Structure 1
Amino acid sequence: MSLLRRRLAKQSVNSRILFQILADRSFSTVKFPPGRRSTTEFDQLIYKAGSSGDFETVRRLLTSRVAHGCFNTSDTFKFLTNTASYSSALEDLRRVLPQIDGRFTRKNAYDILIARLCKLGRVEDALIVIGDMSSGRFSLTPSTFHPILCALARKNKIEEGWRVVESMRSNSIPVDITSYNYFLTSHCYDGDVEEASEVMRKIEKDGISPDARSYDALVLGVCRAGKVEAAMAMLRRMEEDGVNVLYSTHAHVIAGIVEEGYYALGVEFVLAYAGRDLRLDAESFGSLAGKLMKKKRFEEAKIVLKEMVMRGLRMGDDIEGIL
């Protein structure tokens, strides 16, 4: 038994020596730090390796970080920027990513790269990377497409977005509610209730249940369209149906009420929901007070601020001085 222990101990020592040799090989521009490693450390090491063009080290770091419980972040590919070296860096990443060990590790790296490309405004390149994943059968999922749909929706490139949706379907990737919500939010932000309704019909046709974000977008849309009464009715319906109401949904209604000049109704609205959720109270009362002051409706603002004092709600310095 003691002989077995000595053998295992020797193998363990040899493994550590081998790992150190691999880490210190001359082709690597990055030295692995001793001891436990953090997510930030890995991001910094990848930044250094990617910036120096050492993409074999980038690959090894991407492979080993997940084994250490350090998953990729939005900073993982920060070295990839809109500079003269962008094209060559992207090509090198496309070369080494398929060589990453581990199905989950490889997919996660691809997903983070696509998100980075979209942040840089390189949607076409993100779609090329999607093509790499498809041809390599590297586990395409709806979340892989989310950054692309989000980027296109924000730029109001709706038709291009729907073409991406068709691409998802052609790859047998289900279109989830998050994917639809990007279109819904884009239309509702513009107050285009008719187009938003069309998206809702597609959601229903696919047999998908709207979520809190879907309803939040719809409330925003009717408020932007000047239909505050409809927004308040929708909010009540959400509560009756047991839908989780986001804080932002209340904020949309408050903004719509004030914008339409229903100042007294705004006060009634926040009072009607007061006492249920302390954070909601702080945000709703504070938001209404600030908007009323911008409209120079100081009397209504004083009522709201007095309620905040009575309820022990914190108020900003910009609105406290009115009392």
Structure 2
Amino acid sequence: MRLLDEIIAKGGKPNLVSYNVLLTGMCKEGRIDEAMSFFRDLPSKGFSPNVVSHNILLRSLCYEGRWEEANSLLEEMVGEDRSPSVVTYNILIGSLAYHGQTDHALKVLDEMFKGPFTPTAATYNPIIARLCKDGKVDSVVKCLDQMIHQHCNPNEGTYNAIAVLCEEGKVDEAFSIIQSLSDKQNSSIRLL
């Protein structure tokens, strides 16, 4: 940050990417309050935060469980450069699943279907991982079925999420789900 201030003092012109990198660094160091202040000062530096700026802070706030601040930040995400993106939804879904709020994560996933965004395996994987961690095998199967029905192909992250069942002592269930998933994918390929 000092280096950036020195560059500006010497007539250099940073861009928003420079500031987003600093926001990311502060958040990774756990300096969220400082990052928030820095974010709020961006307009005084001549920059309007974009969706990336918001997502950087949103990720940290959500994973820290600071829901009230995250909701306030979400309310600010309107306008051409700040509208929520698929990344925004993935952050919300992932953090809710991380905190064990899978029902809420599934509601956000349903909202995603109503908007212009298409969920990917990265959207589903945190929910599947949490359901596996909680030992909810039937819910895992239901979520995977929805994923396949939506033509969303599982990826290695999906299989890693299912492997969490093994950590929970449900090895047979994990292998059964993987076999079933493989069969469903093969049958959908034959239909195409």
TM range (shorter): 0.7 to 0.9
Partner of 2:172: 264
Distance 1:230 1:221 in 2: 10
Distance of 1:179 and 1:163 partners within structure 2 = 14
1:300-311 equivalence runs, <5 A: none
Q: How does 1:71-220 map to 2 (within 5 A)?
A: 92=5, 96=8, 100-101=12-13, 106-169=15-78, 173-220=82-129
Q: By how many angstroms is 1:114 displaced?
A: 0.8
Contact 2:93 2:105 in 1 (8 A): yes
Letter matched to residue 114 of structure 1:
L
3-state DSSP class of the match of 1:169? coil
Give, in whole Å, the separation in 2 of the partners of 1:126 and 1:98: 24
**Change in CA separation of 1:244 and 1:143 when aligned onto 2, cut-off 3 Å:** farther
Larger Cα Rg: Structure 1 or Structure 2? 1
Change (3 A) 1:167 1:98: farther
Query: SS in structure 2 opposite 1:191?
Result: coil
- Corresponding residue for 1:228? 137
CA gap 1:215/1:99 in 2 versus in 1, 3 angstroms: farther
Q: Give aligned-pair identity as a percent.
A: 21
Q: Any idea what the Cα deviations from partners look like across 1:118-163, whole Å, max 9, x if unmatched?
A: 1222222222222232344425321112221111122111221111
Output the aligned Cα RMSD.
Answer: 3.2
**5+ residue gaps in structure 2?**
186-192
Offset at residue 113 of structure 1 (A): 0.9
Structure 2 match to 1:26: none
Shift in CA distance, 112/268, structure 1 to aligned 2, threshold 3 Å: same
Q: CA deviation at 1:112?
A: 0.6
Higher relative contact order (CA 8 A, sep 6+): 2
Give the gaps of 5 or more residues in structure 1.
1-49, 60-91, 277-323
Query: What is the TM-score normalised by the length of structure 2?
Result: 0.75
Q: Distance in 2 between matches of 1:135 and 1:172?
A: 18
Over residues 204-229 of structure 1, what are the superposed CA-to-partner deviations in whole Å (9 max), with x where a residue is unaligned? 45443323221112212332343212
Distance 2:88 2:9 in 1: 25
